Structure 1
Amino acid sequence: MFDCRFCFRKLILHRHGLSSFKETEKGLDLRNRSALKVELLQALKDNFIALIVHPPSSTCVAVDPSEAEPVLRYLKEHQLKLSEIWNTHHHWDHTGGNKKLKEETGAFIRCSRHDLTRISDADHGLEHREVFEFASIRFETIAVPGHTLGHIAIFSASERILFTGDTLFSLGCGRIFEGTHQMMFDSLQKLKALPDETLLYCGHEYTEANLDFALQIFPNDRELQSYRDQLKTKLEENGSSLPSQLGLEKKLNPFLRAQDIESFKRYRDLKDQF
């Protein structure tokens, strides 16, 4: 269903949430919002590459480019310059496009300091809580080990946007490959503390399967049951459930609803077998 390698959907960011996305017949409605927007480019089978675009300067950042071609194609079509690449972690399906993109554009690559030796051509290692800027807008690094030891999330408080890679998915969370259950639980608590209006951009479209699992854990949850129709509409109209909103995730996502490490571990172990 999501095997379109070079398609993309245009999604408008607004700090007040999902209801403010707008498209017009002439293109994107940029009124009453910040100077940034996020474009989602579909790649591989179910990956998403997020492009953070600053239209006034015709520059952008690629978050987790799994392959280069969708990005290069978009840059050419929209006459944009790729200034930076941000990798949330070192897995190939989040970094596979780095080398070619850097060769073609000279983009500056940021990743976690832990991953500097694991991501070839990386230029700067980010520390936990390190603040940096794109287009004069501040972004903050949040260390979220669990899926991998060097995993980071990237958050802009002013724009209310969050890029979580494979740590937090819509209605789910990533598998624990290098870290521990406690690490992942603690990482999710950091993200859970962010404002409800925050728009969540993760690395994969897993929401439908995650909803099926959530309903196994909470079979009588009416909000989860009613969300199925909303999700179906999102997928049919946009080809994606993203971005999600953090307030929604706090209500529906089993891994954010887990109140203690024991519950989280039970849910994660069940999901691994789902």
Structure 2
Amino acid sequence: MTVFDLTGRKALVTGAAQGLGEGMALALAAAGAKVIVADLQDELGTKVAESLGEGHGFVHLDVTDDANWESAVATAAERLGGLDILVNNAGVEITSLLVDVEADQIRRQLEINLLGTTLGIKHAFRAMRPGGVAGHGGSVVNVASVAATIAFPGIAVYSATKSGVDRLTRVAAAESGRMGYGVRVNTIYPGLVPTAMGAGLANDVARLGLFASPEEAVGAVVALTPSGRLGEVTDMADAVVFLASDGSRFVNGAGLPVDGGMGM
């Protein structure tokens, strides 16, 4: 057994039906945790949960709905026999030049990326603090983005919401400590990963005329990255396992870049 072993831990991962969230759920399960996959996509989410094996499960979750959060966390704690880890991964990116951005696009990103993360922290604290349904402390890992640390054209609102996740993380860690909740709160800043969202971004910035082609956009990202490549799902998932584990037991209120150096 190592400090990265999560055997006996219980985790809830949002946006886990595909992409980074699916990879994070798989990595947590591989490290020994029991995982509840949470997502709006019931069919895909159920398949991911089934792929994890016995003892894992799926719960429908709209991260923008307070009552839905309360129900999902209670269900996860009941099924797993507690809750030690929350990964706030659910997010959306809508590419637009600022001169063309629509109010509904702004609201959607604010609600999913920032409101959703805030509600997740709220209900994780209530469950994990002394007297909660879990009551033994734990770890919250928020998923921000390298976009919170650089100025990349076409994603101003997304960048703003992910910068908000960074600030939210630090205040949440301070409140947890001051109130004696025993919950560590950290965030990761993923670099560009060729998931559906990542590929969509490359196509979108080319469509807007910011780059000549999606390939040129990807090349620009790689050129800005000292490690010389795009990120992989496993890069991000392993960072989440680290922050959820005792290997990071004195890491709190921190932002961990997992971007190959792009945002330095």
For Structure 1 versus Structure 2, the TM-score category normalised by the shorter chain is: 0.3 to 0.5
Q: What's the TM-score, normalizing by structure 1?
A: 0.38
Looking at both structures, which has the greater relative contact order when contacts are Cα pairs under 8 Å and sequence separation is at least 6? Answer: 2
Higher strand content, 1 or 2: 1
Higher helix content, 1 or 2: 2
Q: What's the TM-score, normalizing by structure 2?
A: 0.39
